[in-house]
């Protein structure tokens, strides 16, 4: 609705159009001359700053005369709408139809986009348009509004649209992809084909990884989750997400596995595993060092030999080994952090004893140890504040084969004879 301003006598009316492109004046004949100052006062009150010459040209072009009781333009701006253009800030050709399926050679040529990066935007250059770039109030026109239907169809997975800035923003690290219908997405997982034939000994990825087949004698680092359809043998794996392995994890000791999420696998043998989440398995965990903050769970699994520290409940079908190999199980606070800190401390000592120690590497390692200590303190405080709310427990549904040493916080238990079923709850 237009806004109307009038003078005190009511014989001068100034109509301000909603589109901010024109203002129209109507003067009523009262038998006396209209006061020019009152007209100027109304224009000043409205805040009109430009468009006076354009209004005069408009009247001359159309032969409009100023007359009583007839509205005529006092200020006018012509705006010819421009077309909003979609600008891409990545290589569009390489992004077309990209699904994340790559070879190892192709992977090394990819450029990863960080989370929070502006990957595209809608814009229109107002200086390329005919007519004024300002409205009658002296304010510059904004870029054209974007069609909401086009916006929805162009916003894909892991991308958000900032309507205030007309920008498409990556919500996570990854690689841009544009579908046939123009939808923009961020691919946050790479599936490497021909992996087993590559013979690579070191694989690093800024996103998650999917590997088909078995993986052996390889060091893998990924900023996301890792999924391996086969088994894992003699590998070092670090990932900031979950690790899902189709078969067993075997002989992964130096440096072992460091997983920020959870682990799901068929079993673990003769390996060292640090896991911040839960370990879920279906077969056996044999002769391994396991440090799992989220606990360990298996409806059919057997835990035998080695040493397990868990920050949550332990649930297995069988515990211990019929041949009499000792098994140690402990439910404690933050086993992942404690094991990680011990590992880094050993590495720090090793680096300091090197013939030419790197001061920068030593300082970085010291900083990581301090950070780990702070996290350990925080987790300890969290446990103390919620102590008694949920009782930790160890549960064995079938056989327990001795010798088994169990520790739940400060209480120790030793199993010296075979028994059926076992359940131990945390005590005060």
**For the chain, which ranges sit under pLDDT 50?**
none
* Separation between Cα atoms, residue 106 and residue 254, nearest integer Å: 29
Percent of the chain residues topping a pLDDT of 90: 49
| Residue 105: its H or E element | helix 104-107
- Per-residue pLDDT reduced to its tens digit, 253-264: 988 999 999 999
Tokens linked to 212: 């088909």
- Residue 329 pairs in a beta bridge with 308, 406
Over residues 266-287, the pLDDT tens digits come to: 999 999 999 999 999 999 999 9
- Those residues whose C-beta lies under 8 Å from the C-beta of residue 13, and which sit 6 or more positions away, are 4, 5, 6, 25, 26, 27, 28
Q: 10 Å Cβ neighbour count for 112?
A: 17
pLDDT score at 9: 81
pTM across the whole model: 0.74
Contact 210, 190 (CB under 8 A): yes
DSSP characters over 349-366: HHHHTSSS--HHHHHHHH
- The per-residue pLDDT for 139 is 82
Exposed e or buried b per residue across 54-83, where buried means at least 16 C-beta atoms within 10 angstroms of its C-beta: bbeebbeeeeeeeeeeeeebbbbbebeebe
Q: For the chain, which residues make up each domain, given as ranges?
A: 3-76, 85-187, 255-428
How do residues 324-373 score in pLDDT, each as one tens digit?
899 999 999 999 999 888 888 888 888 888 777 788 888 888 888 888 88
Q: Which pLDDT belongs to residue 145?
A: 53
């Amino acid at each position: 609705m237009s806004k109307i301003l009038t003078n005190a006598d009511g014989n001068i009316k100034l109509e301000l159009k909603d589109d901010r492109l024109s203002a129209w004046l109507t003067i009523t004949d009262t038998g006396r001359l209209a006061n020019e100052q009152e007209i100027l006062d109304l224009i000043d009150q409205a805040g009109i700053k430009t468009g006076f010459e354009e209004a005069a040209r408009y009247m001359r072009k159309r032969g409009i005369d100023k007359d009583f009781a007839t509205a005529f333009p006092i200020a006018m701006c012509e705006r010819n709408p421009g077309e909003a253009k979609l600008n891409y800030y990545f290589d569009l050709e390489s992004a077309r139809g990209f699904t994340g399926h790559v070879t190892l050679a192709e992977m090394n040529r990819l450029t990863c986009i960080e989370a929070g990066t502006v990957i595209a935007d809608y814009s229109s250059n107002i200086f390329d348009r005919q007519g004024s770039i300002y409205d009658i109030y002296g304010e510059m026109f904004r870029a054209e509004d974007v069609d909401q239907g086009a916006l929805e169809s162009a916003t894909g997975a892991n991308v958000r649209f900032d309507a205030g800035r007309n920008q498409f923003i990556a919500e996570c690290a990854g690689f841009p992809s544009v579908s046939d219908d123009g939808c923009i997405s961020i691919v946050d997982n790479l599936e490497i084909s021909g992996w087993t034939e590559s013979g690579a000994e070191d694989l690093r990825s800024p996103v998650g990884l999917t590997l088909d087949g078995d993986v052996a004698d390889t060091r893998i680092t990924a900023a996301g989750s890792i999924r391996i359809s086969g088994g894992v043998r003699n590998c070092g794996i670090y990932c900031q997400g979950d690790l899902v392995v189709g078969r067993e994890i075997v002989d992964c000791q130096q440096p072992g596995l460091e997983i920020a999420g959870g682990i799901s696998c068929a079993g673990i043998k003769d390996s060292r595993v640090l896991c911040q989440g839960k370990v879920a398995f279906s077969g056996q965990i044999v002769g391994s060092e396991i440090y799992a903050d989220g606990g360990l769970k298996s409806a059919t699994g057997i835990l035998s030999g080695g040493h397990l520290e868990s920050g949550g409940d332990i649930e297995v079908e069988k515990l211990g080994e019929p041949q009499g190999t000792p098994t140690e199980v402990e439910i404690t606070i933050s086993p992942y952090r404690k094991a990680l800190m011990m590992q880094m401390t050993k590495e720090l000592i090793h680096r300091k004893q090197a013939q030419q120690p790197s001061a920068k590497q030593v300082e970085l390692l010291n900083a990581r140890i301090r950070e780990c200590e702070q996290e350990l303190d925080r987790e300890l405080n969290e446990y103390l504040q919620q102590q008694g709310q949920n009782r930790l427990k160890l549960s064995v549904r079938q056989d327990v084969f001795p010798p088994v040493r169990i520790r739940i916080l400060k209480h120790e238990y030793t199993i010296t004879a075979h028994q059926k079923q076992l359940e131990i709850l945390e005590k005060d």
